[in-house]
């Protein structure tokens, strides 16, 4: 008997469960914040830049922490679309998937071909998506749309709107208007002639286009569509290109991701049955993949502000889970610093292209060979210079940091698979594990993808 117990214990150690599974998880609302592409290096840079090496970001205050394995089927590193699909359906899918598993919508652990967000909406929750990029971005789009290719932005936006979530906020007005039709931010690009802005109004949505209009949304609003840029609310280009074109990092007329999050919560929280909100700061990934360190730091500041907004809401609504995770480590930035007396990284002095005997390129406030960044003060008041080095211009497969606070946040600990995020969010939204609900729900294919 002892030998059998030892064998069983060894097997469990080799194959731990994806998520600890208490029999009766607590039920509540979920705010899933997805700062796309953020790894430990991103958060370390954000900390020294915003609050200094001894300070604490809003991200740092989330008490529960885990690392998850981000690989997808057939690839050690995910793409944003396959990573988003894993979060939305709880199963691993091929690299190019967008709400799909091959030719079909993924079969979720509940036994149905339905995303977690559509499942929650069907069950009476209010749901919403917020994105600083255009609304076809997969970190949010995969929760409501299933398409053959990520490039099918017109079809993704059609499915987003026709799913009728209570809140849709982001960029991408061009994908809601017919080709050539002038909108508030630019001309439409839809080839099918449909005007989704008009359709949204007819369906009962309040439609807004600027930060001021978002702030003035009536309190009784039940469905809200915000389109704050022609495509993205940021200008994802290198430092040199932005400087040459006189462009800011982010559109000054667009609300921040934190402001959009606050507006979304005001609408969603009115539902006594609870809600599910997915928030994505996309600039953290895009600026990283362009090796634009200044853009990355601004995007990280905005992502952390969204976490702070969610945490303020949770303090007043304790039956809420705040869950924060990326799906990959974009370009793996590294903080590079040394004492100024070494003469290499010195305030007010342009950086070298790289460190001696080290080919990794260095980034400063205006790109390569510019002055270094200067950290916020440390505990002694000192402000120290630093540079940013990059590993690549691609999304990596390093472990992803997950943090959480609130109801069921104790489930976020240790080592998780990326499919565990779906399970934790499902357990919170429904007060049951997916398999427990599958007993009562036979397999029922829904949400057939567009051809």
Q: Write out pLDDT tens, residues 96-125.
A: 999 999 999 999 999 999 999 999 999 999
In a domain, 450, yes or no: no
Residue 357 is predicted with a pLDDT of: 87
Q: Which pair of structure tokens corresponds to residue 7?
A: 């064998």
Residue that has been written with the tokens 């290719």 in this structure: 149
pLDDT at 23 over 80: no
Host domain of residue 381: 334-389
Q: Which residues, including other chains, have CB under 8 Å from residue 151's CB and lie 6 or more apart? A: none
Assess if residue 62 is contained within a domain.
yes
Give mean pLDDT, residues 82-98: 98
Mean pLDDT of 279-292: 97
Give Cα 419 distance to the centre of its chain.
Answer: 15
Count of domains in the chain? 2
Residue 7 domain-assigned (yes or no): no
Closest Cα partner for 131 from 164, 150, 157, 155?
157
Instruction: Decide if 394 is inside a domain.
Output: no
CA dihedral sign, ordered 70, 76, 81, 86 = negative
Are 250 and 380 in the same domain? no
Give a yes or no: residue 379 inside a domain: yes
pLDDT of residue 21: 56
The CA distances from residue 354 to 16, 33, 105, 201, 237, in Å, are 43, 34, 47, 54, 21
Would you say 142 and 157 are in contact if contact means Cβ atoms under 8 Å apart?
no
- CATH number for position 236: 3.40.720.10
* Among candidate residues 266, 283, 255, 304, the one with its CA nearest the CA of residue 60: 304
Residues 179 and 285 in one domain: yes
Whether residues 259 and 143 share a domain: the answer is yes
Which token pair is 371? 């002055």
In a domain, 3, yes or no: no
* Residue 317 near residue 168, CB atoms below 8 Å: no
pLDDT at 359: 87
pLDDT tens for each residue of 184-235:
999 999 999 999 999 999 999 999 999 999 999 999 999 999 999 999 999 9
Average pLDDT over residues 1-16: 36
Q: Tell me the β-bridge partners of 388.
A: 335, 363
Query: Among residues of the chain, what percentage have pLDDT more than 90?
Result: 90
In this structure, are 364 and 265 located in the same domain? no
Q: Mark whether 204 and 345 lie in a shared domain.
A: no
Q: Both 283 and 368 in a single domain?
A: no
Q: Are residues 274 and 411 in the same domain?
A: yes
Query: Do residues 127 and 182 both lie within one domain?
Result: yes
pLDDT score recorded for residue 438:
81
Give the integer Cα–Cα distance in Å for 295 and 388.
12
Cβ burial of 318 (10 Å; 0-12, 13-18, 19+) is exposed
Task: Tell whether 274 and 417 lie within a shared domain.
Answer: yes
Does 204 share its domain with 109? yes
* Statement to judge: residues 427 and 342 lie in one domain: no
CA distance 266 to 259: 11
Question: Does the structure show a pLDDT above 60 at 444?
Answer: no
pLDDT at position 4 = 34
Contact, 86 vs 78, CB < 8 A? yes
Spatial separation of the C-alpha atoms in residues 357 and 213, rounded to whole Å: 53
pLDDT tens-digit readout, 324-341:
999 999 999 999 999 999
Last residue of a domain, one of 389, 413, 430: 389
Q: Does residue 5 fall inside a structural domain?
A: no
Residue 443 has pLDDT above 50, yes or no: no
**Mean pLDDT of the 71-80 span:** 96
Q: Are residues 327 and 342 in the same domain?
A: no
3-state secondary structure of 6: helix
Give the contacts of 309 (CB within 8 A, at least 6 positions apart).
Answer: 258, 261, 262, 265
**How many whole angstroms separate alpha carbon 61 and alpha carbon 170?**
27
Query: Closest Cα to residue 151, out of 203, 103, 80?
Result: 80
- pLDDT at residue 360, rounded to an integer: 87
Helices assigned H by DSSP within 34-126 = 40-50, 80-89, 116-122
Q: Give the pLDDT confidence score for residue 20 in this predicted structure.
A: 52
- Average pLDDT of every residue of the chain: 93
The answer to whether residue 19 is domain-embedded is no
């Amino acid at each position: 008997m002892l030998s059998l117990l030892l064998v069983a214990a060894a097997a469990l150690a080799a194959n731990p469960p994806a998520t600890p599974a208490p029999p009766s998880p607590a039920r509540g609302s979920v705010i899933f914040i997805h700062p796309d592409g953020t790894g430990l290096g991103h958060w370390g840079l954000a900390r020294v830049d915003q609050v200094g090496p001894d300070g604490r970001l809003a991200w740092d205050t989330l008490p529960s922490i885990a690392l998850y394995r981000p690989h997808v089927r057939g690839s050690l590193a995910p793409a944003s679309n396959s990573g988003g699909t894993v979060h939305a359906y709880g199963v691993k899918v091929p690299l190019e998937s967008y709400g799909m598993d091959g030719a079909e919508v993924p079969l979720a652990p509940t036994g149905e071909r339905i995303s977690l967000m559509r499942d929650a909406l069907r069950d009476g929750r209010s749901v919403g998506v917020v994105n600083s990029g255009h609304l076809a971005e997969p970190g949010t789009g995969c929760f409501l749309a299933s398409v053959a290719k990520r490039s099918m932005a017109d079809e993704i936006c059609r499915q987003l709107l026709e799913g009728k979530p209570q809140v849709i906020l982001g960029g991408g007005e061009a994908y809601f208007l017919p080709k050539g039709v002038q909108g508030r931010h630019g001309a439409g690009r839809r080839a099918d002639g449909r005007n989704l802005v008009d359709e949204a109004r007819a369906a009962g949505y309040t439609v807004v286009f600027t930060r001021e209009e978002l702030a003035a949304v009536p309190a009784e609003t039940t469905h809200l569509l915000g389109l704050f840029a022609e495509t993205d609310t940021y200008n994802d280009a290198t430092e040199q290109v932005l400087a040459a074109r006189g462009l800011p990092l982010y559109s000054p007329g667009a609300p921040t991701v934190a402001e959009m999050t606050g507006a979304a919560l005001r609408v969603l929280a009115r539902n006594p049955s609870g809600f599910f909100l997915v928030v994505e700061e996309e600039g953290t990934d895009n600026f990283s993949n362009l090796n634009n360190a200044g853009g990355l730091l601004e995007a990280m500041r905005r992502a952390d502000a969204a976490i702070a907004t969610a945490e303020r809401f949770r303090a007043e609504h304790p039956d809420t889970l705040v869950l924060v995770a990326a799906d990959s480590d974009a370009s793996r930035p590294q903080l590079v610093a040394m004492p100024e007396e070494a003469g290499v990284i010195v305030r007010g002095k342009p950086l070298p292209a790289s460190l001696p005997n080290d080919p990794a390129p260095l980034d400063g406030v205006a790109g390569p060979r510019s002055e270094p960044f200067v950290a916020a003060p440390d505990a002694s008041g000192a402000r120290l210079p630093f540079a940013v080095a990059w590993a690549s211009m691609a999304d990596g497969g390093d472990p992803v940091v997950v943090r959480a606070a609130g109801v069921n946040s104790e489930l976020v600990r240790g080592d998780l698979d990326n499919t565990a995020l779906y399970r934790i969010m499902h357990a919170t939204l429904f007060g049951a594990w997916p398999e427990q609900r599958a007993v009562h729900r036979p397999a029922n294919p829904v949400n057939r993808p567009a051809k």
